A and B are shown apart, each in its own frame.
Chain A
Protein backbone atom coordinates (compact mmCIF):
# COMPACT_ATOMS: atom_id res chain seq x y z
CA UNK A 1 0.00 0.00 0.00
CA UNK A 2 2.80 2.37 0.96
CA UNK A 3 4.61 1.49 -2.27
CA UNK A 4 1.45 2.28 -4.26
CA UNK A 5 1.09 5.60 -2.48
CA UNK A 6 4.76 6.42 -3.14
CA UNK A 7 4.37 5.56 -6.82
CA UNK A 8 1.25 7.71 -7.05
CA UNK A 9 3.11 10.64 -5.52
CA UNK A 10 5.98 10.12 -7.98
CA UNK A 11 3.55 10.17 -10.88
CA UNK A 12 1.95 13.35 -9.57
CA UNK A 13 5.39 14.96 -9.24
CA UNK A 14 6.24 13.87 -12.75
CA UNK A 15 3.01 15.24 -14.17
CA UNK A 16 3.69 18.54 -12.42
CA UNK A 17 7.25 18.59 -13.80
CA UNK A 18 5.93 17.95 -17.30
CA UNK A 19 3.43 20.80 -16.97
CA UNK A 20 6.17 23.17 -15.83
CA UNK A 21 8.47 21.98 -18.63
CA UNK A 22 5.71 22.60 -21.17
CA UNK A 23 5.40 26.10 -19.74
CA UNK A 24 9.10 26.62 -20.46
CA UNK A 25 10.67 25.77 -17.09
CA UNK A 26 14.18 24.52 -17.80
CA UNK A 27 14.71 23.12 -14.29
CA UNK A 28 11.55 21.05 -14.64
CA UNK A 29 12.95 19.52 -17.80
CA UNK A 30 16.19 18.76 -15.95
CA UNK A 31 14.07 16.84 -13.41
CA UNK A 32 12.53 14.86 -16.25
CA UNK A 33 16.00 14.06 -17.55
CA UNK A 34 16.91 12.71 -14.11
CA UNK A 35 13.79 10.54 -14.14
CA UNK A 36 14.08 9.13 -17.64
CA UNK A 37 17.66 9.22 -18.88
CA UNK A 38 18.65 5.77 -17.58
CA UNK A 39 15.50 4.18 -18.98
CA UNK A 40 15.94 5.86 -22.35
CA UNK A 41 19.61 4.90 -22.44
CA UNK A 42 18.69 1.27 -21.68
CA UNK A 43 16.01 1.33 -24.35
CA UNK A 44 18.47 2.65 -26.95
CA UNK A 45 21.27 0.33 -25.85
CA UNK A 46 19.11 -2.79 -26.14
CA UNK A 47 18.44 -1.89 -29.77
CA UNK A 48 21.92 -0.92 -30.96
CA UNK A 49 24.24 -2.61 -28.38
CA UNK A 50 26.89 0.08 -28.55
CA UNK A 51 27.47 2.12 -25.44
CA UNK A 52 29.02 5.16 -27.08
CA UNK A 53 26.37 5.40 -29.78
CA UNK A 54 23.64 4.86 -27.19
CA UNK A 55 24.99 7.79 -25.15
CA UNK A 56 25.12 10.05 -28.19
CA UNK A 57 21.61 9.08 -29.23
CA UNK A 58 20.28 9.58 -25.68
CA UNK A 59 21.77 13.06 -25.69
CA UNK A 60 20.13 13.79 -29.04
CA UNK A 61 16.76 12.46 -27.82
CA UNK A 62 16.68 14.80 -24.83
CA UNK A 63 17.73 17.79 -26.93
CA UNK A 64 14.95 17.00 -29.42
CA UNK A 65 12.47 16.56 -26.57
CA UNK A 66 13.57 19.86 -25.03
CA UNK A 67 13.05 21.59 -28.36
CA UNK A 68 9.57 20.13 -28.79
CA UNK A 69 8.19 19.92 -25.25
CA UNK A 70 6.35 23.24 -25.55
CA UNK A 71 4.21 21.77 -28.31
CA UNK A 72 3.08 18.85 -26.12
CA UNK A 73 -0.66 19.33 -25.62
CA UNK A 74 -1.39 16.60 -23.09
CA UNK A 75 1.21 16.33 -20.29
CA UNK A 76 -0.13 12.85 -19.50
CA UNK A 77 1.31 11.66 -22.79
CA UNK A 78 4.86 12.78 -22.01
CA UNK A 79 6.22 9.25 -21.54
CA UNK A 80 4.93 7.72 -24.82
CA UNK A 81 5.89 10.96 -26.58
CA UNK A 82 9.46 10.70 -25.26
CA UNK A 83 9.71 7.03 -26.20
CA UNK A 84 8.36 7.87 -29.65
CA UNK A 85 11.20 10.40 -30.09
CA UNK A 86 13.65 7.76 -28.85
CA UNK A 87 12.32 5.14 -31.26
CA UNK A 88 12.57 7.58 -34.17
CA UNK A 89 16.13 8.47 -33.19
CA UNK A 90 17.10 4.78 -33.02
CA UNK A 91 15.48 4.07 -36.38
CA UNK A 92 17.26 7.08 -37.91
CA UNK A 93 20.56 5.80 -36.55
CA UNK A 94 19.98 2.26 -37.85
CA UNK A 95 18.94 3.59 -41.28
CA UNK A 96 22.11 5.71 -41.52
CA UNK A 97 24.18 2.73 -40.37
CA UNK A 98 22.69 0.54 -43.12
CA UNK A 99 23.46 3.24 -45.67
CA UNK A 100 27.04 3.49 -44.39
CA UNK A 101 27.41 -0.27 -44.59
CA UNK A 102 26.64 -0.14 -48.33
CA UNK A 103 29.60 2.19 -48.87
CA UNK A 104 31.94 0.22 -46.62
CA UNK A 105 30.95 -3.13 -48.14
CA UNK A 106 34.12 -3.42 -50.19
CA UNK A 107 36.54 -1.82 -47.76
CA UNK A 108 36.52 -4.68 -45.23
CA UNK A 109 35.85 -2.21 -42.48
CA UNK A 110 34.89 -4.02 -39.32
CA UNK A 111 31.52 -3.14 -37.89
CA UNK A 112 32.37 -2.21 -34.33
CA UNK A 113 28.83 -1.22 -33.44
CA UNK A 114 27.66 -4.80 -33.40
CA UNK A 115 30.09 -5.82 -30.67
CA UNK A 116 28.68 -5.02 -27.26
CA UNK A 117 30.94 -3.28 -24.78
CA UNK A 118 33.00 -5.53 -22.57
CA UNK A 119 31.88 -5.67 -18.97
CA UNK A 120 33.78 -7.51 -16.27
CA UNK A 121 36.01 -10.50 -17.02
CA UNK A 122 36.67 -12.30 -20.30
CA UNK A 123 34.06 -14.97 -19.65
CA UNK A 124 31.53 -12.29 -18.70
CA UNK A 125 32.28 -10.54 -21.96
CA UNK A 126 31.70 -13.73 -23.97
CA UNK A 127 28.46 -14.42 -22.11
CA UNK A 128 27.41 -10.82 -22.71
CA UNK A 129 28.18 -11.10 -26.41
CA UNK A 130 26.41 -14.44 -26.76
CA UNK A 131 23.34 -13.18 -24.95
CA UNK A 132 22.87 -10.21 -27.27
CA UNK A 133 23.56 -12.38 -30.33
CA UNK A 134 20.90 -14.92 -29.25
CA UNK A 135 18.42 -12.19 -28.42
CA UNK A 136 19.01 -10.62 -31.82
CA UNK A 137 18.45 -14.01 -33.43
CA UNK A 138 15.17 -14.42 -31.55
CA UNK A 139 14.02 -10.94 -32.56
CA UNK A 140 14.85 -11.68 -36.18
CA UNK A 141 12.10 -14.31 -36.10
CA UNK A 142 9.49 -11.68 -35.19
CA UNK A 143 7.95 -9.18 -37.56
CA UNK A 144 9.07 -5.54 -36.99
CA UNK A 145 5.79 -4.64 -35.25
CA UNK A 146 5.81 -7.77 -33.06
CA UNK A 147 9.44 -7.08 -32.15
CA UNK A 148 8.82 -3.46 -31.23
CA UNK A 149 5.70 -4.20 -29.19
CA UNK A 150 7.48 -7.04 -27.36
CA UNK A 151 10.52 -4.92 -26.57
CA UNK A 152 8.47 -1.97 -25.34
CA UNK A 153 6.32 -4.23 -23.16
CA UNK A 154 8.76 -6.68 -21.64
CA UNK A 155 12.15 -4.96 -21.88
CA UNK A 156 11.17 -1.31 -21.45
CA UNK A 157 8.19 -1.93 -19.17
CA UNK A 158 5.56 0.18 -20.95
CA UNK A 159 1.85 -0.59 -20.62
CA UNK A 160 -0.41 -1.35 -23.60
CA UNK A 161 -1.78 2.19 -23.78
CA UNK A 162 1.70 3.69 -23.76
CA UNK A 163 2.91 1.24 -26.42
CA UNK A 164 -0.08 2.19 -28.59
CA UNK A 165 0.99 5.82 -28.23
CA UNK A 166 4.62 5.08 -29.11
CA UNK A 167 3.78 2.89 -32.09
CA UNK A 168 0.88 5.08 -33.20
CA UNK A 169 -1.43 2.07 -33.40
CA UNK A 170 -4.60 1.21 -31.59
CA UNK A 171 -4.51 -0.93 -28.46
CA UNK A 172 -6.07 -4.04 -29.99
CA UNK A 173 -3.46 -4.05 -32.78
CA UNK A 174 -0.70 -3.79 -30.18
CA UNK A 175 -2.24 -6.69 -28.25
CA UNK A 176 -2.35 -8.81 -31.39
CA UNK A 177 1.35 -8.12 -32.04
CA UNK A 178 2.16 -8.94 -28.42
CA UNK A 179 0.09 -12.11 -28.49
CA UNK A 180 1.99 -13.42 -31.53
CA UNK A 181 5.36 -12.37 -30.12
CA UNK A 182 4.71 -14.05 -26.74
CA UNK A 183 3.57 -17.20 -28.51
CA UNK A 184 6.91 -17.28 -30.38
CA UNK A 185 8.79 -16.57 -27.14
CA UNK A 186 7.01 -19.47 -25.44
CA UNK A 187 8.16 -21.85 -28.16
CA UNK A 188 11.70 -20.45 -28.05
CA UNK A 189 14.07 -22.77 -26.21
CA UNK A 190 17.42 -21.26 -27.31
CA UNK A 191 17.14 -18.30 -24.97
CA UNK A 192 16.23 -20.14 -21.80
CA UNK A 193 19.81 -21.26 -21.07
CA UNK A 194 21.03 -17.68 -21.11
CA UNK A 195 18.39 -16.16 -18.89
CA UNK A 196 19.26 -15.40 -15.30
CA UNK A 197 17.56 -17.43 -12.64
CA UNK A 198 15.45 -15.65 -10.09
CA UNK A 199 17.38 -14.84 -6.93
CA UNK A 200 16.05 -16.58 -3.89
Chain B
Protein backbone atom coordinates (compact mmCIF):
# COMPACT_ATOMS: atom_id res chain seq x y z
CA UNK B 1 0.00 0.00 0.00
CA UNK B 2 1.31 3.42 -0.85
CA UNK B 3 -0.16 6.07 1.36
CA UNK B 4 -0.41 9.56 0.02
CA UNK B 5 0.41 11.88 2.91
CA UNK B 6 -1.06 14.91 1.12
CA UNK B 7 -4.52 13.40 1.09
CA UNK B 8 -4.33 12.55 4.82
CA UNK B 9 -3.58 8.83 4.48
CA UNK B 10 -1.57 7.35 7.30
CA UNK B 11 -0.99 3.75 8.28
CA UNK B 12 -0.60 4.94 11.89
CA UNK B 13 -4.15 6.21 11.79
CA UNK B 14 -5.39 2.88 10.46
CA UNK B 15 -3.63 1.05 13.30
CA UNK B 16 -4.98 3.52 15.87
CA UNK B 17 -8.46 2.84 14.54
CA UNK B 18 -7.94 -0.92 14.83
CA UNK B 19 -6.66 -0.58 18.42
CA UNK B 20 -9.37 1.85 19.52
CA UNK B 21 -11.68 3.56 17.04
CA UNK B 22 -12.60 6.22 19.61
CA UNK B 23 -9.02 7.48 19.42
CA UNK B 24 -9.76 9.19 16.10
CA UNK B 25 -11.82 12.32 15.72
CA UNK B 26 -14.83 12.53 13.38
CA UNK B 27 -12.80 13.95 10.49
CA UNK B 28 -10.22 11.19 10.63
CA UNK B 29 -12.90 8.52 10.85
CA UNK B 30 -14.64 10.03 7.84
CA UNK B 31 -11.38 9.88 5.89
CA UNK B 32 -10.97 6.19 6.76
CA UNK B 33 -14.49 5.50 5.55
CA UNK B 34 -14.09 7.41 2.28
CA UNK B 35 -10.49 6.84 1.23
CA UNK B 36 -10.31 3.59 -0.79
CA UNK B 37 -6.60 3.04 0.06
CA UNK B 38 -7.11 3.44 3.80
CA UNK B 39 -10.33 1.44 3.69
CA UNK B 40 -8.52 -1.43 1.93
CA UNK B 41 -5.66 -1.33 4.44
CA UNK B 42 -8.08 -1.28 7.37
CA UNK B 43 -10.01 -4.21 5.92
CA UNK B 44 -6.82 -6.21 5.37
CA UNK B 45 -5.55 -5.60 8.92
CA UNK B 46 -8.91 -6.25 10.53
CA UNK B 47 -9.32 -9.47 8.56
CA UNK B 48 -5.81 -10.63 9.54
CA UNK B 49 -6.49 -10.09 13.24
CA UNK B 50 -9.89 -11.81 13.04
CA UNK B 51 -8.34 -14.75 11.23
CA UNK B 52 -5.66 -14.98 13.91
CA UNK B 53 -8.25 -15.05 16.70
CA UNK B 54 -10.31 -17.65 14.86
CA UNK B 55 -7.30 -19.86 14.08
CA UNK B 56 -6.15 -19.77 17.70
CA UNK B 57 -9.66 -20.78 18.80
CA UNK B 58 -9.66 -23.65 16.30
CA UNK B 59 -6.31 -24.90 17.58
CA UNK B 60 -7.43 -24.78 21.19
CA UNK B 61 -8.97 -28.00 22.52
CA UNK B 62 -12.04 -28.09 24.73
CA UNK B 63 -11.25 -28.58 28.41
CA UNK B 64 -11.85 -32.19 29.46
CA UNK B 65 -13.12 -31.24 32.91
CA UNK B 66 -14.86 -28.35 34.58
CA UNK B 67 -13.07 -26.77 37.54
CA UNK B 68 -14.47 -28.00 40.83
CA UNK B 69 -14.70 -25.99 44.00
CA UNK B 70 -13.35 -27.49 47.23
CA UNK B 71 -15.86 -29.55 49.16
CA UNK B 72 -17.98 -27.41 51.45
CA UNK B 73 -16.92 -27.49 55.08
CA UNK B 74 -13.42 -28.64 54.28
CA UNK B 75 -10.80 -26.06 55.11
CA UNK B 76 -8.95 -24.68 52.10
CA UNK B 77 -5.17 -24.80 52.15
CA UNK B 78 -3.99 -21.43 53.48
CA UNK B 79 -2.74 -19.10 50.79
CA UNK B 80 0.55 -17.44 51.38
CA UNK B 81 0.30 -13.74 50.66
CA UNK B 82 3.08 -12.26 48.49
CA UNK B 83 4.08 -9.98 51.37
CA UNK B 84 4.32 -12.96 53.69
CA UNK B 85 6.52 -14.75 51.14
CA UNK B 86 8.74 -11.69 50.88
CA UNK B 87 9.08 -11.46 54.66
CA UNK B 88 9.96 -15.14 54.94
CA UNK B 89 12.46 -14.92 52.08
CA UNK B 90 14.16 -11.83 53.51
CA UNK B 91 14.26 -13.37 56.99
CA UNK B 92 15.82 -16.58 55.72
CA UNK B 93 18.39 -14.71 53.65
CA UNK B 94 19.32 -12.52 56.63
CA UNK B 95 19.64 -15.57 58.91
CA UNK B 96 21.92 -17.25 56.37
CA UNK B 97 24.18 -14.19 56.12
CA UNK B 98 24.38 -13.95 59.92
CA UNK B 99 25.25 -17.65 60.17
CA UNK B 100 28.12 -17.24 57.70
CA UNK B 101 29.39 -14.13 59.54
CA UNK B 102 29.30 -15.88 62.93
CA UNK B 103 31.09 -18.89 61.51
CA UNK B 104 33.81 -16.68 59.97
CA UNK B 105 34.38 -14.70 63.20
CA UNK B 106 34.24 -17.51 65.74
CA UNK B 107 35.67 -20.30 63.63
CA UNK B 108 38.92 -20.54 65.61
CA UNK B 109 37.20 -20.52 68.98
CA UNK B 110 34.50 -22.92 67.86
CA UNK B 111 37.01 -25.40 66.44
CA UNK B 112 40.24 -24.97 68.57
CA UNK B 113 43.54 -26.51 67.33
CA UNK B 114 45.43 -28.68 69.90
CA UNK B 115 49.19 -28.33 70.67
CA UNK B 116 49.70 -31.99 69.80
CA UNK B 117 48.44 -31.36 66.29
CA UNK B 118 50.79 -28.40 65.93
CA UNK B 119 53.79 -30.42 67.21
CA UNK B 120 53.00 -33.27 64.84
CA UNK B 121 52.71 -30.88 61.96
CA UNK B 122 56.10 -29.33 62.82
CA UNK B 123 57.76 -32.76 63.03
CA UNK B 124 56.37 -33.66 59.60
CA UNK B 125 57.68 -30.41 58.21
CA UNK B 126 61.16 -31.10 59.62
CA UNK B 127 61.26 -34.52 57.97
CA UNK B 128 60.24 -32.95 54.73
CA UNK B 129 62.90 -30.25 55.03
CA UNK B 130 65.58 -32.88 55.66
CA UNK B 131 64.55 -34.68 52.51
CA UNK B 132 64.74 -31.44 50.56
CA UNK B 133 68.25 -30.71 51.86
CA UNK B 134 69.43 -34.24 50.99
CA UNK B 135 68.14 -33.77 47.49
CA UNK B 136 69.95 -30.47 47.21
CA UNK B 137 73.21 -32.24 48.14
CA UNK B 138 72.74 -35.03 45.66
CA UNK B 139 69.70 -34.94 43.48
CA UNK B 140 70.48 -38.33 41.84
CA UNK B 141 68.48 -41.32 42.96
CA UNK B 142 70.35 -44.11 44.82
CA UNK B 143 70.52 -46.41 41.79
CA UNK B 144 72.39 -43.75 39.78
CA UNK B 145 74.86 -43.03 42.55
CA UNK B 146 76.28 -46.63 42.13
CA UNK B 147 77.41 -45.84 38.60
CA UNK B 148 79.01 -42.49 39.34
CA UNK B 149 82.33 -41.84 37.46
CA UNK B 150 84.51 -41.72 40.62
CA UNK B 151 83.76 -45.21 41.74
CA UNK B 152 83.76 -46.99 38.40
CA UNK B 153 86.54 -45.20 36.59
CA UNK B 154 88.62 -48.36 36.24
CA UNK B 155 90.65 -47.03 33.30
CA UNK B 156 93.50 -49.21 32.24
CA UNK B 157 96.49 -46.86 32.83
CA UNK B 158 98.93 -48.99 30.80
CA UNK B 159 96.66 -49.08 27.81
CA UNK B 160 96.16 -45.36 28.12
CA UNK B 161 99.93 -44.75 28.23
CA UNK B 162 100.41 -47.00 25.25
CA UNK B 163 97.86 -45.06 23.24
CA UNK B 164 99.04 -41.64 24.34
CA UNK B 165 102.71 -42.04 25.36
CA UNK B 166 104.04 -39.71 28.01
CA UNK B 167 106.85 -37.58 26.62
CA UNK B 168 109.33 -38.00 29.51
CA UNK B 169 108.86 -41.73 29.55
CA UNK B 170 109.81 -42.14 25.87
CA UNK B 171 113.02 -40.06 26.35
CA UNK B 172 114.10 -42.30 29.23
CA UNK B 173 113.53 -45.39 27.18
CA UNK B 174 115.58 -43.99 24.30
CA UNK B 175 118.54 -43.11 26.61
CA UNK B 176 118.40 -46.61 28.10
CA UNK B 177 118.56 -48.09 24.62
CA UNK B 178 121.52 -45.91 23.72
CA UNK B 179 123.40 -46.91 26.84
CA UNK B 180 122.85 -50.51 26.02
Contacts and interface: CB of A to CB of B under 8 A. Distances in A.
A42 B53 CA distance: 11
Interface in B13-39: 15-16, 18-20, 23
A186 B51 contact: no
B51 A198 contact: yes
A46 B61 CA distance: 10
B15 A179 contact: yes
Contact of B60 (A26, A42, A58, A198): A42
A37 B66 contact: yes
A42 B19 CA distance: 22
A167 interface: no
B104 to A, nearest CB: 29
Contact of B15 (A51, A61, A183): A183
A179 B18 CA distance: 9
Contacts of B15: 179, 182-183, 186
Given A26-B69, A63-B69, A196 B61 contact: no
Contacts of B62: 38
Nearest to B57: A42
Given A154-B49, A183-B15, A186-B15, A119 B61 contact: yes
A38 B63 contact: yes
Contacts of A153: 19
B19 A62 contact: no
Given A117-B61, A175-B20, A186-B45, A196 B67 contact: no
Nearest to A129: B59
A196 B58 contact: yes
Interface residues of B, number: 36
A104 interface: no
B52 interface: yes
B70 interface: yes
Interface in A17-48: 26, 29-30, 33-34, 37-38, 41-42, 45-46
Contact of A33 (B12, B53, B67): B67
A15 interface: no
B65 to A, nearest CB: 6
Given A67-B76, A117-B61, A62 B67 contact: yes
A160 interface: yes
Contact of A160 (B20, B54, B56, B59): B20
Interface string A54-73: 11001101111011000000
A135 B56 contact: yes
A179 B16 contact: yes
B56 A155 contact: yes
B72 interface: yes
A111 interface: no
24 contacts: A26-B72, A30-B69, A37-B67, A41-B63, A42-B56, A42-B60, A51-B63, A61-B67, A62-B67, A62-B69, A63-B67, A119-B59, A131-B59, A135-B56, A175-B19, A178-B19, A179-B12, A182-B15, A182-B18, A182-B45, A186-B15, A192-B48, A196-B54, A196-B55
Top 6 nearest A-B pairs (CB, nearest first) are A195-B51, A62-B67, A41-B63, A178-B19, A59-B67, A196-B55
Interface of A: 26, 29-30, 33-34, 37-38, 41-42, 45-46, 51, 54-55, 58-59, 61-64, 66-67, 116-117, 119, 128, 131-132, 135, 153-155, 157, 160, 175, 178-179, 182-183, 185-186, 191-192, 194-198
